[in-house]
């Protein structure tokens, strides 16, 4: 059962602020979808290996050779806020 | 109540590959902020990681050096958490199929040999660096370090004191230095360590509640932090309260710990297989090839040096403690030289030269040949021990042949018999009373004459030969 | 002659014969965008790229707004990316540019490709050129609508669970999801990394083959890219279907399909039978678990892929109002709350939930195992068939707003397209008729891994004999 507390917990893990007014709506929607995907519990998967990669491609490497990095102009072209060659964010520890 | 301390350590080691783990940016320390970054290590949308081949091989080396089993199937997983130094919102790490597991490291601690278990070693990417800027009241981020390849080495909770933890770290660092996969420099952050600490009543088999200590920046800080935490846990238990499982930050100046905020502690990392990287398979042949190519590791070398050269564990430990010093020793030991003397010279006068100059062997211009030559000049009586130390100070700077320096400085002891006889005659002539004493049986008085003769020869005489000459002359007169 | 209404291969012939100039084609298409985009809302933005000197194929192309073009905004139709301009080209954009392609601008989509109707875009909904009251499908709704409306000669879309094929079906155009690994994902803003592929949306099968040849190929920057040679797909189109084994999965013809859709697809089956193909009734027994499996795997991956949108480096940053303003965590929560739409929030939360402690085994791991079963069904079917034929979607284009209040019913509209993504196999959707209301119907052909040539030649045989593709939306 997806309670408001569960929605709150999941939202905080996901770093999403959810207004209290929306908790039960999201909870209901999640509940619906989870109920549907619970269909999978009908399957006997005890001897089935999981598929995380669809094809058995293995051992893809790059060699340890240096490639050009972004120029400082490029590296900060999209920065929300920067200061003295650094990306700037609100203080982390208050 | 008598408590037993239980310590497990997590060591993060930055690998010294040319490039980062998943992109071609330079893997270098101390560059200008945000100058080695690209879409991949900045976690820009659409970018994808590709594993640096060298990282997997360095990881294998570390695993094998720690006597681990190497997994023939290796995969990467995402560890999900939010922090501004982690641009993707997840760290690519290894969860259930790490590169290495189930190993041990032999450690000599408290005069005993112990095997500290290694639970696992896995590969992952490092995060960026946060700088807390009081002036702007903001946090500044440098992503140069993001994507630096790391090996995390997790020990078993096998250590029973802060000193054991210290000795384990020392042995581990030395092993890693021998592998040449990292510069292992705690000051630069290329080696970092967190400690899990708990205590339990002695005899109890169940583990106590542990706390995790972070933010120690030297081995001695780790030792201090653990000692502090053990005392603190004991006080808590003795006052009837339970130990709270939490992460504590060590404050070196104040010598105390501060708990991390609970919001940052509530972690549910939601590991799952990294879909952007394919799995890796290693064959036994590949693993064997890496194993065969491993250098001799410090512990094995210590055992061999003791066996092969008959040196003490004490001397061996000092020598092995610096791979290059041990190499130097072995090169020298292959020449015609008294091993015990060589050992004394290396761990004595040579060590002093190194300490005076705060450098290691390659920082000196000394060759093993020259050190052996110098030792042998003392042994054959050409120069005194004191003079030899003087020569050593010279040749470590100049790289000159010690024989030339001995000649240039005129340090060779006088072996010209005629000159020696003249001097002996002089002192006997000038000190009839002393000669009388010697003749009447007071042998020790000869030392006085030897000293006088030595003075006349400006120290360039072999005291033994002088003594013999004086005794003979007095007997013959 | 309206140049914008031609296919790329027709334009190339005119160019080769000196009958038109590349600029005339571009002008015609841009004029069409100006004329009809206010009604379709297919393009989010247009821009003029510098012309590449080697303009072998100067075909005007639209790019889904989740594919990076250097120095141009890429937003995934989300507010959270704000005006983010990537400092690099996606691998497919490098290839398009190298081919001389004329990039027109960015095409609308469901936010982060989360949807089947392009109604979840933060840039406004897209209208189906065949009926402006209806959705174009999704998530590549802008791409399919633009191609159908003459706003682009061809377009790139991305397909995680049917996002190329279902809108192609709804808009009466051709859309192909390549084999996983055939086309580099480098520069595609990830949704479900183990499922995503970029693919062509075109007016006919010939163009589909040509565009696929341009964008396919191995890329060292994408570890999942497969190192196999790329054939010239257009050269292999004319192939007899005689003896071709076509499987008809019984699980794809059950309740919920509109009768007109079933009728059109059955008629296509008959066409192939008459042409000498061997029609086989097959079973893909785990089909009914595909949607559930997909929504666990795709949202799990998405929840992680979208974690990078946090207001730290790029895109949107929103600081909460004073009472709650405390620090970085609040900035994350506020930025993401304002930056993501509801569907994105639902999927992020669902994905987070199925990976969280205590639920991983019950949901995520179980879904990975169900994925194996679904893939095994298809692998087994292809030992016995060359092609699997089915409807692309159970319905034709539905009304705007019809399914927005019920996320689950929206998810179920992808029921026939999802299995190809779960199994990594290639699949194409092409027009196979119209319903009574004049809305296009699409059929889907699925093939074994890297059987794109066979898919295209089969589709081509059908298209040339039936000519549905020549009917155009009237705008």
Q: Do C310 and B89 touch (CB under 8 A)?
A: yes
CATH number for the domain including A2? 1.10.20
Question: Which tokens is B228 given?
Answer: 């502090």
Among B26, B132, B281, the residue with its CB nearest the CB of A58 is B281
Give exposure, B422-443, as e/b (b: 16+ Cβ within 10 Å).
Answer: ebbeebbeebeebbebbeeeee
- Inform me whether the pLDDT recorded for B77 exceeds 90: yes
Asked if residue C408 lies in contact with residue A36, where contact means CB atoms within 8 angstroms, the answer is yes
Q: Total structural domains in chain A? A: 1
Asked if residue B260 lies in contact with residue B249, where contact means CB atoms within 8 angstroms, the answer is yes
pLDDT at C170: 98
Round the CA-based radius of gyration of chain B to a whole number and report it. 31
Residue A63 lies in a domain: no
SS3 C60: strand
What are the CA-CA distances from residue B100 to residues B118, B119, B153, B425, C131 (Å)?
A: 9, 9, 9, 77, 60
Q: What residue ranges in C140-256 does DSSP mark as E strands?
A: 154-159, 174-177, 197-202, 245-249
Cis status of the peptide bond prior to C131, with omega within 30 of 0: no
Residue A65 lies in a domain: no
Q: For B58-72, write each residue's pLDDT tens digit.
A: 999 999 999 999 999
User: Among all residues of chain A, which has the CA nearest to that of B129?
Assistant: A86
Distance CA C417, CA B465 (A): 102
Asked if residue C157 lies in contact with residue C146, where contact means CB atoms within 8 angstroms, the answer is no
Residue A27 lies in a domain: yes
Asked if residue C108 lies in contact with residue C100, where contact means CB atoms within 8 angstroms, the answer is no
Q: Phi and psi for B283 in degrees, rounded to 5? A: -90, 160
Verify whether residue C163 is a known catalytic residue.
yes
Asked if residue C92 lies in contact with residue C112, where contact means CB atoms within 8 angstroms, the answer is no
Provide the whole-model pTM: 0.92
User: Among all residues of chain C, which has the CA nearest to that of A70?
Assistant: C87
Q: Total structural domains in chain C? A: 1
Q: Which range among B271-275, B417-421, C158-162, C445-449 shows the weakest confidence by mean pLDDT?
A: B417-421
Q: Do C332 and B51 touch (CB under 8 A)?
A: no
Q: Do A78 and C375 touch (CB under 8 A)?
A: no
Residue A24 Cα, gap to closest chain B Cα (Å): 23
Q: Which value, to the nearest 10 degrees, does the dihedral of the CA atoms of residues B38, B40, B45, B48 take?
A: 150
User: Among all residues of chain B, which has the CA nearest to that of C69?
Assistant: B46
Residue B9 Cα, gap to closest chain A Cα (Å): 26
pLDDT at C55: 65
Residues of C whose CB is below 8 A from B47: 88, 186-187
Q: Which domain range does residue A20 map to?
A: 1-42
Q: Do B48 and C76 touch (CB under 8 A)?
A: no
Asked if residue B93 lies in contact with residue B121, where contact means CB atoms within 8 angstroms, the answer is no
Distance CA B119, CA C175 (A): 51
Which residues make beta-bridge pairs with B51? A61
Verify whether residue C64 is a known catalytic residue.
yes
Between helix B432-439 and helix B417-430 the angle, nearest 10°, is 90
Among B83, B270, B279, the residue with its CB nearest the CB of A53 is B279
Which residues make beta-bridge pairs with B415? none
pLDDT at B384: 82
Residue A92 lies in a domain: no
pLDDT at B464: 76
Residues of B whose CB is below 8 A from A62: 24, 50-53
- Inform me whether the pLDDT recorded for B80 exceeds 60: yes
pLDDT at B262: 60
Asked if residue B423 lies in contact with residue B415, where contact means CB atoms within 8 angstroms, the answer is no
* CB neighbourhood size of B188 (10 A): 11
User: Which site among B24, B40, B46 would you substitute to test the C interface, given the most C Cβ atoms closer than 10 Å to its Cβ?
Assistant: B46
Q: Do A70 and B143 touch (CB under 8 A)?
A: no
DSSP B376: H
Question: Which tokens is B311 given?
Answer: 């040196």
Q: Do B19 and A64 touch (CB under 8 A)?
A: yes
Residue C91 Cα, gap to closest chain B Cα (Å): 10
pLDDT at A94: 44
CA C175 and chain centroid, separation: 7
Please tell me the number of Cα atoms within 13 Å of B83 on its side-chain side.
20
SS3 B460: coil
Question: Which tokens is B227 given?
Answer: 């000692």
Question: Which tokens is C185 given?
Answer: 């994902």
Q: How far apart are the first and last CA of chain C?
A: 16
Question: Which tokens is C439 given?
Answer: 């809305």
Q: For B98-131, write each residue's pLDDT tens digit.
A: 999 999 999 999 989 999 999 999 999 999 999 9
Q: Tokens 């059987």 identify what position?
A: C451
Q: Is residue C302 less than 8 Å (CB to CB) from chain B?
A: no
Give the pLDDT band (50/70/90) at residue B474: confident
Share of chain B above pLDDT 90, in %: 76
Strands C174-177 and B280-281: unpaired
Residue A12 lies in a domain: yes
CATH number for the domain including C192? 3.90.1300.10
Residue A88 lies in a domain: no
Asked if residue C391 lies in contact with residue C261, where contact means CB atoms within 8 angstroms, the answer is yes
Considering only residues 187 to 226 of chain C, which have any Cβ-Cβ distance to chain B shorter than 8 Å? 187-190, 192-194, 220-224
Give exposure, B112-134, as e/b (b: 16+ Cβ within 10 Å).
Answer: eebebbbbbbbbbbbbbbbeeee
Q: Is residue C310 less than 8 Å (CB to CB) from chain B?
A: yes
* CB neighbourhood size of C56 (10 A): 13
User: Which site among B33, B87, B95, B97 would you substitute to test the A interface, given the most A Cβ atoms closer than 10 Å to its Cβ?
Assistant: B33
pLDDT at C407: 82
Verify whether residue C405 is a known catalytic residue.
no
pLDDT at B463: 76
**ipTM above threshold 0.95:** yes
pLDDT truncated to tens, each residue of chain C (475 aa)? 799 999 999 999 999 999 999 999 999 999 999 999 999 999 999 999 887 666 689 999 999 999 999 999 999 999 999 999 999 999 999 999 999 999 999 999 999 999 999 999 999 999 999 999 999 999 999 999 999 999 999 999 999 999 999 999 999 999 999 999 999 999 999 999 999 999 999 999 999 999 999 999 999 999 999 999 999 999 999 999 999 999 999 999 987 899 999 999 999 999 999 999 999 999 999 999 999 999 999 999 999 999 999 999 999 999 988 665 668 889 999 999 999 999 999 999 999 999 999 999 999 999 999 999 999 999 999 999 999 999 999 999 999 999 988 888 888 889 999 999 999 999 999 999 999 999 999 999 999 999 999 999 999 999 999 999 999 999 8
Q: Which domain range does residue C346 map to?
A: 1-475
Among B54, B82, B130, the residue with its CB nearest the CB of A64 is B54
Among C223, C333, C372, the residue with its CB nearest the CB of A51 is C372
SS3 B424: helix
Residues of C whose CB is below 8 A from B90: 304, 307
Round the CA-based radius of gyration of chain A to a whole number and report it. 23
Residue A54 lies in a domain: no
DSSP B246: -
Among A10, A11, A51, the residue with its CB nearest the CB of C371 is A51
Considering only residues 331 to 360 of chain C, which have any Cβ-Cβ distance to chain A shorter than 8 Å? 331-334, 336-337, 340, 345-346, 348-350, 352-353, 356
pLDDT at C320: 86
Residues of A whose CB is below 8 A from C226: 55, 57
Mean pLDDT of chain A: 94
Q: What residue ranges in B15-87 does DSSP mark as E strands?
A: 51-52, 69-70, 73-74, 77-80
Structural domains of chain B sorted by starting position, each given as residue range(s) with its CATH number in brackets: 3-288 (no CATH), 296-408 (no CATH), 417-476 (1.10.10.410)
Counts for chain C of helices (H) and strands (E), in that order: 14, 11
């Amino acid at each position: 059962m997806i309670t408001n507390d569960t929605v709150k917990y999941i939202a905080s893990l996901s770093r999403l602020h959810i207004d209290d007014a929306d908790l039960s709506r999201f909870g209901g929607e999640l509940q619906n979808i989870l109920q549907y995907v619970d269909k999978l519990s009908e399957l006997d998967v005890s001897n089935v290996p999981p598929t995380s990669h669809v094809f058995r491609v293995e051992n893809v490497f790059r060699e340890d050779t240096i490639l050009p990095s972004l120029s400082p102009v490029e590296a900060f072209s999209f920065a929300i806020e920067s200061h003295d060659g650094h990306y700037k964010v609100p203080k982390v520890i208050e | 109540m008598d408590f037993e301390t239980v310590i497990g350590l997590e060591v993060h080691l930055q690998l010294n590959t040319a490039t980062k783990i998943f992109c071609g940016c330079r893997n270098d320390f101390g560059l200008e902020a945000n100058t080695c970054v690209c879409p991949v290590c900045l976690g820009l949308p659409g970018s994808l990681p590709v594993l640096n081949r060298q990282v997997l091989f360095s990881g294998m080396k570390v695993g094998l050096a720690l006597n681990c089993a190497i997994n023939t199937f290796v995969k990467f997983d995402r560890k999900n958490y939010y922090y501004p130094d982690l641009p993707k919102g997840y760290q690519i790490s290894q969860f259930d199929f790490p590169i290495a597991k189930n190993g041990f490291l032999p450690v000599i601690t408290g005069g005993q040999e112990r095997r500290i278990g290694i639970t696992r070693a896995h590969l992952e990417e490092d995060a960026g660096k946060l700088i807390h800027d009081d002036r702007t009241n903001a946090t500044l981020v440098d992503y140069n370090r993001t994507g630096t390849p790391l090996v995390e080495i997790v020990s078993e909770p096998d250590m029973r004191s802060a000193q054991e933890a210290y000795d384990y770290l020392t042995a581990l660092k030395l092993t890693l230095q021998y592998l040449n996969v990292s510069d292992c420099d705690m000051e630069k952050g290329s080696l970092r360590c967190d400690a899990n600490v708990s205590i339990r009543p002695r005899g109890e088999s169940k583990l106590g509640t542990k706390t995790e200590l972070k933010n120690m920046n030297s081995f001695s800080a780790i030792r201090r932090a653990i000692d502090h935490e053990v005392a603190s846990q004991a006080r808590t238990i003795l006052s009837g309260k339970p130990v709270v499982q939490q992460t504590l930050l060590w404050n070196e100046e104040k010598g105390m710990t501060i708990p991390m905020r609970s919001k940052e502690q509530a972690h549910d990392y939601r590991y799952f297989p990294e879909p952007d990287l394919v799995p890796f398979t290693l064959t036994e042949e590949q693993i064997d090839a890496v194993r065969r190519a491993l250098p001799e590791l410090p512990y094995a070398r210590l055992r061999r040096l003791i066996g092969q050269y008959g040196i003490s564990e004490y001397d061996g430990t000092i020598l092995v403690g610096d791979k290059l010093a041990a190499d130097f020793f072995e090169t020298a030991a292959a020449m015609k030289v008294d091993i015990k003397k060589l050992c004394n010279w290396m761990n004595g006068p040579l060590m002093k030269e190194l300490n005076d100059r705060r450098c290691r062997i390659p920082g000196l211009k000394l060759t093993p040949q020259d050190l052996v030559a110098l030792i042998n000049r003392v042994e054959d009586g050409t120069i005194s021990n004191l003079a030899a130390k003087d020569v050593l100070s010279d040749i470590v700077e100049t790289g000159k042949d010690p024989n030339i320096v001995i000649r240039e400085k005129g340090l060779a002891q006088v072996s010209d018999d005629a000159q020696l006889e003249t001097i002996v005659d002089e002192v006997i002539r000038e000190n009839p009373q002393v000669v009388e004493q010697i003749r009447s049986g007071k042998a020790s008085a000869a030392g006085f004459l030897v000293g006088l003769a030595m003075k006349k020869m400006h120290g360039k005489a072999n005291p033994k030969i002088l003594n013999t000459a004086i005794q003979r002359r007095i007997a013959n007169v | 002659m309206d140049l914008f209404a031609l296919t790329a291969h027709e334009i190339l012939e005119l160019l080769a014969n000196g009958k038109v100039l590349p600029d005339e084609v571009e002008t015609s298409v841009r004029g069409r965008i100006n004329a009809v985009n206010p009604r379709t809302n297919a393009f989010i933005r247009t821009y003029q790229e510098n012309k590449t000197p080697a303009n072998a194929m100067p075909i005007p192309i639209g790019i889904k707004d989740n594919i990076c073009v250097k120095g141009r905004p890429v937003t995934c139709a989300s507010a959270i990316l704000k005006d983010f301009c990537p400092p690099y080209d996606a691998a497919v954009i490098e290839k398009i540019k190298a081919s001389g392609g004329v990039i027109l601008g960015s095409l609308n989509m469901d936010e982060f490709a989360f949807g089947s109707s392009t109604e979840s875009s933060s840039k406004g909904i897209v209208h189906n050129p065949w009926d402006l009251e209806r959705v174009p499908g999704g998530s590549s709704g802008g791409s399919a609508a633009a191609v159908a409306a003459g706003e682009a000669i061809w377009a790139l879309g991305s397909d995680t669970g049917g996002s190329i094929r279902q809108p192609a079906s709804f808009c009466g155009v051709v859309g192909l999801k390549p084999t996983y690994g055939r086309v580099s994902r480098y520069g595609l803003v990830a949704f479900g990394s183990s499922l995503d592929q970029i693919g062509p949306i075109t007016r006919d099968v010939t163009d589909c083959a040509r565009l696929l040849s341009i964008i396919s190929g191995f890329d060292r920057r994408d570890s999942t890219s497969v190192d196999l040679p790329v054939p010239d797909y257009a050269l292999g189109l004319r192939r007899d279907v005689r003896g071709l084994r076509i499987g008809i999965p019984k699980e794809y013809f059950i309740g919920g399909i509109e009768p007109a859709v079933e009728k059109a697809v059955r008629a296509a089956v008959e066409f192939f039978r008459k042409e000498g193909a061997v029609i086989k009734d097959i079973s893909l027994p785990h089909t009914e678990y595909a949607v559930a499996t997909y929504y666990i795997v795709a949202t799990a991956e998405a929840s992680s892929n979208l974690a990078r949108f946090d207001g730290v480096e790029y895109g949107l940053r929103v600081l909460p109002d004073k009472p709650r303003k405390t620090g970085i965590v609040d900035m994350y929560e506020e930025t993401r709350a304002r930056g993501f739409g509801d569907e994105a929030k639902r999927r992020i939360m669902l994905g987070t939930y199925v990976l969280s402690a205590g639920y991983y085994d019950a949901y995520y791991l179980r879904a990975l195992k169900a994925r194996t079963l679904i893939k095994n069904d298809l692998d087994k079917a292809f030992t016995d068939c060359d092609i699997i034929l089915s409807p692309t979607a159970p319905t034709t284009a539905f009304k705007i707003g019809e399914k927005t209040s019920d996320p689950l019913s929206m998810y179920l509209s992808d029921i026939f397209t999802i299995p190809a993504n779960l199994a990594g196999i290639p699949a194409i959707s092409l027009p196979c008729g119209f319903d009574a209301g004049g809305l296009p119907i699409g059929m889907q052909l699925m093939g074994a891994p890297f059987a794109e040539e066979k898919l295209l030649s089969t589709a081509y045989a059908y298209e040339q004999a039936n000519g549905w593709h020549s009917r155009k939306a009237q705008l």
